[in-house]
Amino acid sequence: MNETLIEFLGGYTATNNWGAILPEILLALLALGLLAAEVILPKGKHAMIGRLSIIGQVGILAMLLLPNACSEWIGTTNFSGMIALTDVGQLMRGFFLVCSILVTYLGGVYLSKQKLPKTEFFHLVLVIAAASMLLVQSVNFVMLFVALEAVTVAFYVLVAYCRTSSLSLEAGLKYLILGALSSSILLFGIVLLYGVAGNPGLVGASRDSLNFTALGNFISFNAENPLVLGGALMVISGICFKIGAVPFQIWVPDVYQGAPTPVTAYLAIGSKAAGFMVLLNLVTGPFADIAYFLKPVLTVVAVVTILFGNIAAVSQKNVKRMMGLSGIAHAGYLLVGVIAAMTVDWAVYAVIFYLVTYLLASFAVFAVMAHLSGADDADQALSHYTNLARKHPFLGGVLAVGLGSLAGIPPLGGFIGKLFLFVAAYEAGLYGLLGVSIIGVVISIYYYFGWIRECYFADSVIEPSESMLSGKDRWVMGVLVAATVVIGLYPSVLPIIP
């Protein structure tokens, strides 16, 4: 009996290749190390903790960028079918690390103006990064749900992190309630799929139906089963909440406004990217054989999301809410790429390219917002940016480039990102979606350029002043702007499109 048990357990642990998830392990250790540093270091040295976090993350990123980093596990499935390492997964690992580094930097800017705990903030940023990296490599619903909830629970805390702000606490409560609802929908969908795919009376049934490969094999034989379609629809609905797609977008404006600016940036970029990569993994993996059902559903969602996000953003005067609503529109554009990926293989890389350009432009804008925000971080009206280009020429330039890229103005990176998505949509025959996307871009130019107009073309003249920026601030924002311009002029420098 003991030998049988040992043999059984040995079969499960044989694929536990810990080196395959070394970056995630190092991030977890770094997160614990920050908590230990707060205890060990004298109180006067606690300002070093944010810098230690950034240095550690940069080191892990450098390790990932090595030519053969984790290459021996690419294309393999590890931890008893829980995690599969792919080239796309490697790209997204780097994406989430860059994202967490920039959020840590913005967190330092934000926390310098607040009397709030700092170490816990940096710790939670690392937890989200590690969980997001595991999430996009998950090929089993158990792993997917655990990683997703690790991300979501950490965001519950970060959204309400400014406990002195009623808007932050309100945002945290709304995100908690609606997040719990979306998790329930997602979990119920998983249960439906697991139950029907484990039915021995159906062709292709498997006891391991939580595994994407086994589930995909079952769905290939039962693509018209109503329980399969219902379960898949509920899973997609749960993910649509995470990406802020209509009709699950109601939380976005309030949460984006109330959350601290660095957390808003993390939600807008990191959380959205994780959700879209999960969605891509599902529609090109286990759900591939029900594309006939998912395509019309996602098409309607994409159309309404693009139009709602752009039209609602036009009348917004609070810039955090405007970024939230425009983020809904960007989710719609990315959904176009997801739908195209069901037909055009390289559309997956077009989605990743778009996410990279969105990261650069959005962080440039959020960096400006973080520096200009006062004690009340939620109160960031459009009028606060009047004459910004004259008061702070550097910040005005950064904001203009970031907003121009988000609007898709050539020759900036956002233009190329949209171009790749639209070409993929054209090749996939999504002509109606392509037309709606172009209409959405035209609408977005109005409110993005309205913000730029407020910065550059107000009547009064104010003397320039740049004393609020340090050399580090200029360097970080300068890199974001330079990368946005370079990628727009030379897209091949970003080796994502194969």
The per-residue pLDDT for 74 is: 72
Least confident interval from 7-16, 168-177, 479-488: 7-16
Burial class (CB in 10 A: 0-12, 13-18, 19+), 318: middle
pLDDT digits (tens, 9 = 90+) for 238-260: 999 888 888 888 888 889 988 89
pLDDT digits (tens, 9 = 90+) for 74-91: 767 777 778 888 888 888
Q: What's the number of CA atoms in the CB half-sphere (13 Å) around residue 27?
A: 30
Largest CA distance in the chain: 85
How confident is the model over 87-101, as a mean pLDDT?
90
Least confident interval from 24-28, 111-115, 254-258, 395-399: 111-115
Whole-structure pTM value = 0.92
pLDDT above 60 for 327? yes
Higher per-residue pLDDT: 197 or 298: 298
The per-residue pLDDT for 236 is: 92
Q: What is the mean pLDDT of the chain?
A: 86
Least confident interval from 4-18, 54-68, 142-156, 276-290: 4-18
The per-residue pLDDT for 248 is: 85
Per DSSP, the residues of 149-210 read HHHHHHHHHHHT--TT-HHHHHHHHHHHHHHHHHHHHHHHHHHHHHHHHT-TTSTT--TTTT
Crossing angle of helices 347-372 and 471-489, rounded to 10°: 150
Would you place residue 467 in the very low, low, confident or very high pLDDT band (cuts 50, 70, 90)? low
pLDDT above 60 for 215? yes
Cα 259 from Cα 106, distance rounded (Å)? 13
pLDDT digits (tens, 9 = 90+) for 399-450: 999 999 999 888 898 899 999 999 999 998 889 999 999 999 999 999 999 8
What tokens does 79 get? 């931890």
Cα 211 from Cα 228, distance rounded (Å)? 15
How confident is the model over 1-25, as a mean pLDDT?
65
Q: Residue 284 carries which DSSP code? A: T
Assess contact for 161 and 155: CB atoms under 8 A: no
The per-residue pLDDT for 8 is: 47
The per-residue pLDDT for 326 is: 92
Please state the separation of Cα 92 from the chain's center in Å. Answer: 10
The number of beta carbons lying within 10 Å of the beta carbon of residue 437 is: 24
Higher per-residue pLDDT: 211 or 353: 353
pLDDT above 80 for 60? yes
Task: Give the chain's end-to-end CA distance (angstroms, integer).
Answer: 52
The per-residue pLDDT for 131 is: 93
pLDDT above 90 for 124? yes
Higher per-residue pLDDT: 19 or 368: 368
Please state the separation of Cα 255 from the chain's center in Å. Answer: 15
Residue extents of the structural domains in the chain: 15-493
pLDDT above 60 for 158? yes
pLDDT above 70 for 1? no
The per-residue pLDDT for 12 is: 55
The per-residue pLDDT for 276 is: 93
The number of beta carbons lying within 10 Å of the beta carbon of residue 179 is: 20
